Copies of this chain bind each other. A is one copy, B any other.
Amino acid sequence: MKNIGINGYGTIGKRVADAVSAQDDMKIVGVTKRTPDFEAKSAVENGYDLYISAPEKESQFEEAGIEISGTADELFEKLDLVVDCTPGGIGAQNKTDIYEKIGLKAIFEGGEDHDAIGSSFNAEANYESNLGKDYVRVVSCNTTGLCRTLKPINDIAGIKKVRAVMVRRGADPNDVKKGPINSIVPTTEVPSHHGPDVQTIIDDINVMTMALLVPTTLMHQHNIMVELEDNITTDDVLDAFEKAHRVLPVQKSLKLGSTAELMEYAKDLGRSRGDMYEIPVWQESVNVENGELYYMQAVHQESDVVPENVDAIRAMLELEEDGEKSILKTNKAMGIL
Contact = CB atoms under 8 A, between A and B. Distances in A.
B190 A263 contact: no
Contacts of A186: 221, 223, 257-258, 282, 285, 296
A24 interface: no
A258 B45 CA distance: 21
15 contacts: A36-B254, A39-B268, A42-B265, A46-B270, A173-B260, A176-B257, A177-B180, A180-B181, A180-B216, A184-B258, A185-B258, A186-B221, A208-B225, A214-B215, A267-B273
Given A163-B225, A287-B190, A294-B191, A181 B178 contact: yes
Given A178-B181, A180-B181, 13 more contacts: A35-B255, A37-B254, A165-B210, A169-B184, A178-B178, A181-B217, A182-B218, A184-B219, A188-B284, A190-B296, A208-B289, A212-B296, A268-B273
Interface string A283-300: 011110100101110100
Contacts of A260: 173-176, 180, 182-183, 217
Given A176-B260, A181-B217, A296 B210 contact: yes
A158 interface: no
A2 interface: no
> Which secondary structure characterizes the binding site on chain A?
mixed
A14 interface: yes
A225 B298 CA distance: 21
Given A171-B179, A177-B178, A265-B42, A296 B191 contact: no
Categorize the interface residue count of chain A. 35 or more
A189 interface: yes
Closest 9 CB pairs of A and B: A183-B260, A174-B264, A188-B284, A165-B165, A37-B255, A176-B180, A42-B268, A267-B273, A214-B214
Contacts of A180: 176-177, 181, 216, 258, 260
Copies of this chain per assembly: 4
Contacts of A210: 165, 223, 225, 285, 294, 296
B38 A268 contact: yes
A273 B284 CA distance: 27
A36 B190 CA distance: 24
A252 interface: yes
A272 interface: yes
A64 interface: yes
Interface string A222-238: 01010000000000000
A252 B253 CA distance: 37
Interface string A187-218: 01111000000000000000010101011111
